[in-house]
Structure 1
Amino acid sequence: MNETDERDIRHLLATYTDLWVRHEMDAWGALFTEDADFITHRGIWWRSRRENVAGHKDVPDAVLAQKGDFTQEVLSIRSVAPDVALVHTAWNWPGHRPRPSAAPEDRRGFVTLLLVRQPDGAWRIRAAHNTRENGLDDFSAR
């Protein structure tokens, strides 16, 4: 992995985070390949860019209003083959309320991404798996 590739991948992931926070899901989806797989923190497996974007658009307004506190940090970028990179990020969402009546909770997690270089030289996300650090489901009794 050369410095240019790493810089380009970090830029893609900064854009990913910015678009996700602003909930610009069509532009966010363009960062993925058409056949991208995305596994959510709740175990839902979307098998295309279209499914991924549609699923991420389906979010209650109360949750959308909280996205401004979300952050994501790149932890590692590794080349696994020519034009293929494995990336791990850590995300943090303090004070998240899954429902307006729920107590706020500080959520953290990790995203594992497989990126591939496209024929035009751009990196795109081919697969992503989001995992919550604390492993609690939104509907857990407390």
Structure 2
Amino acid sequence: MHRDDEETIRTTLATHTALWTSHEMDEWGTYFTEDSDFITHRGIWWRTRQDNIDGHKDVPDSVLRQKKNYTQQVLDIATITPEVALVHTRWSWPEHRLPGTDVTEDRTGLITLIMVKRQGRWLIRAAHNTRTNGLDEFTAGHGTGT
């Protein structure tokens, strides 16, 4: 991958994250292809850009106010073809509070992205979001799920 493409992907994702934290979801959605797939950390699978936008708009006001704490960092960019990249990011959302609770938690996760270059612009074709903490704990004798 050309160094300029890698830098463009990093800049694109920084802008994309800023739009997410400011909850500008219509503009945020323009960074996805029309036929994009997005799998949420809860396992919901949206199969179009518009479904993804609508799903991410449906957030309680109490959560919207917390978005300012969210950050995302690009960990790795790998070339699949000159116009397709595999990107991994790590996100952090400290002091996240679910609606109706007084308890906060520091959430973290990983996102795997397939990005495609279309008409000179890098767009997200597929995204899979996975939480890396706060998941169900397995107790002794119940296995690890592997």
TM over 0.5: same fold?
yes
Whichever residue aligns with residue 133 of structure 1, its letter is T
2:4 is the alignment partner of 1:12: no
2:128 is the alignment partner of 1:129: yes
Whichever residue aligns with residue 9 of structure 1, its letter is I
TM-score with structure 1 setting the length: 0.93
Q: Deviations over 1:4-63 (max 9, x none)?
A: 100110011001110000000000000000000000000000000000000000000000
Higher Cα Rg, which structure? 2
Where 2:16 maps in the other structure, the secondary structure is helix
Whichever residue aligns with residue 95 of structure 1, its letter is E
After the TM superposition, which residues 30-41 of structure 1 pair with which residues of structure 2 at under 5 Å, given as runs? Answer: 30-41=30-41
Shift of 1:134: 1.5
Q: Aligned residue for 1:84?
A: 84
Rounded Cα–Cα distance in structure 2 between residues aligned with 1:113 and 1:135: 22
Residues 135, 114 of structure 1: alpha-carbon distance in 2 compared, 3 angstrom cutoff: farther
Where 2:120 maps in the other structure, the secondary structure is coil
Q: Which runs of 5+ in 1 are unaligned?
A: 138-142
TM-score with structure 2 setting the length: 0.90
Percentage of pairs with the same residue: 61
Rounded Cα–Cα distance in structure 1 between residues aligned with 2:110 and 2:52: 18
Whichever residue aligns with residue 128 of structure 1, its letter is A
After TM superposition, the runs of 4+ consecutive aligned structure 1 residues lying more than 6 A away are none
Rounded Cα–Cα distance in structure 2 between residues aligned with 1:4 and 1:102: 45
How many residue pairs end up in the alignment?
136
Q: Which runs of 5+ in 2 are unaligned?
A: 137-146
Q: Aligned residue for 2:141?
A: none
